Structure 1
Amino acid sequence: MTFARPDPLSALGTPSRIPSWASSVRAETFEDVAFFSGAALSHLHFVLEREEVPRALLRDRLALRAAEACVAFSGRPERAAELRDAIHLLRPGDLPGPAGETCLEWRRAAERPLSVKALARALPGIEPGQIAIWLDAGRGAPVTRAAMVLEAVQSDAPRAPALVLADAALAQALGWAHVVPLLAAGLKRADLRKQGDDLRLACHRALLTSAVEALRLAADLTRRAAHLEAVTPKLRAKAAGAAVEMLLTRDAVAPAALPLPDRAARRLCDRLVDLGAVRELTGRDTFRLYGV
Structure 2
Amino acid sequence: MAYAADSFDTLPRMPTWVTSARPEAPEDVAFLSGAALNHLHLVLRRADVPQTLLRARLALRAAEACVTHQGRPELAAELRDAVAFLQPGDSPGPAGEIYLSWRRAVERPVSVKGLHRALPNLDPSQIAAWLDTGQGTPVARAAAVCHAMIEERPRDHTSSLLLANVALAQALGWSHVVPLLAIGLKRGEVRNAGDDLHLACHRAIVTAATEATREGADLARCAARLKEVAPKLRARGSDEAVALFLDRDAVAPAALTSLRSDRAARRFCDRLVELGAVRELTGRDTFRLYGL
State the TM-score, normalizing by the size of structure 1.
0.96
Q: Write out per-residue CA displacement over residues 163-214 of structure 1, whole angstroms, 9 at most, x where no aligned residue.
A: 1100000000000010001111111111012101100100000000000010
**1:175 aligned to which of 169, 173, 176:** 173
Once residues 154 and 239 of structure 1 are traced to their aligned partners in structure 2, the CA distance between those partners, rounded to angstroms, is 47
Q: Is 1:282 the counterpart of 2:278 in the alignment?
A: no
> How far 1:71 sits from its partner (Å)?
0.2
Once residues 3 and 91 of structure 2 are traced to their aligned partners in structure 1, the CA distance between those partners, rounded to angstroms, is 46
Once residues 234 and 15 of structure 1 are traced to their aligned partners in structure 2, the CA distance between those partners, rounded to angstroms, is 27
**1:151 aligned to which of 147, 151, 157:** 147
The 3-state SS of whatever aligns with 1:199 is helix
Q: Is 1:217 the counterpart of 2:215 in the alignment?
A: yes
Partner of 2:120: 124
Query: What letter matches 2:64 in structure 1?
Result: E
Query: What letter matches 1:189 in structure 2?
Result: R
Once residues 6 and 221 of structure 1 are traced to their aligned partners in structure 2, the CA distance between those partners, rounded to angstroms, is 14
Query: What letter matches 1:231 in structure 2?
Result: V
Instruction: Tell whether the 8 Å contact from 1:182 to 1:210 is kept in structure 2 after alignment.
Output: yes
Q: Is 1:60 the counterpart of 2:56 in the alignment?
A: yes
Cα distance 1:232–1:122, how it changes in 2: closer, same or farther (>3 A)?
Answer: same
Partner of 1:264: 264
Partner of 1:229: 227
Query: What letter matches 1:251 in structure 2?
Result: D
| Number of residue equivalences | 288
CA RMSD of aligned residues (A): 1.4
Once residues 47 and 233 of structure 2 are traced to their aligned partners in structure 1, the CA distance between those partners, rounded to angstroms, is 24
Instruction: Tell whether the 8 Å contact from 1:15 to 1:43 is kept in structure 2 after alignment.
Output: no
Partner of 1:95: 91
**2:204 aligned to which of 198, 203, 206:** 206
Once residues 274 and 63 of structure 1 are traced to their aligned partners in structure 2, the CA distance between those partners, rounded to angstroms, is 28
Partner of 2:291: 291
Between 88-97 and 276-285, the greater mean CA deviation after superposition: 88-97
The 3-state SS of whatever aligns with 1:106 is helix
Segments of structure 2 that go 5 or more residues without pairing to the other structure are none
Segments of structure 1 that go 5 or more residues without pairing to the other structure are none
Instruction: Tell whether the 8 Å contact from 1:16 to 1:218 is kept in structure 2 after alignment.
Output: no
Q: Is 1:109 the counterpart of 2:144 in the alignment?
A: no
